[in-house]
Amino acid sequence: DSGVTQTPKHLITATGQRVTLRCSPRSGDLSVYWYQQSLDQGLQFLIQYYNGEERAKGNILERFSAQQFPDLHSELNLSSLELGDSALYFCASSVGPEPNTEAFFGQGTRLTVV
């Protein structure tokens, strides 16, 4: 158990819909990272937050947005869903953004868009 909790574990929804994925980081971790993993793309970095503020952006679509709340949990919002958005979405957390710290990953949310 990494200490990072993601909910829900599975999500099935229709095209055009909007969903929210939730991540609770390990206790004491201030940095949260979101990743998307699809079969043909591997693990893609989406976005990072540190202590409530956006720190880095990766290949995140405009239809996707995220935020980190004062209690440090984070949510990833996916809207106008397309079939190609079907993937595993992972959240990770670390104490901070320093490169000598380790990141801990949750078990992921499997999103299926039908």
Under the rule (CB under 8 A), what is the footprint of another protein? 2, 4, 31, 33, 35, 42-45, 48, 50, 55-56, 58, 90, 92, 94, 96-108
Two tokens, residue 79: 């809207």
Instruction: Name the residue among 45, 34, 90 with its Cα closest to residue 67.
Output: 34
Q: How far is the CB of 71 from another protein (least distance, A)?
A: 21
Q: How far is the CB of 7 from another protein (least distance, A)?
A: 14
Judge contact between 53 and 67, C-beta under 8 A: no
Using the minimum distance from each CB to another protein, give the nearer residue, 12 or 56.
Answer: 56
Using the minimum distance from each CB to another protein, give the nearer residue, 79 or 110.
Answer: 110
Using the minimum distance from each CB to another protein, give the nearer residue, 14 or 40.
Answer: 40
Q: What is the b/e burial string over 23-44, where b = at least 16 CB atoms within 10 angstroms of the residue's CB?
A: bbbbeebbbbbbbbeeeeeeee
> Sign of the CA dihedral 77, 80, 81, 85?
negative
Q: How far is the CB of 48 from another protein (least distance, A)?
A: 5
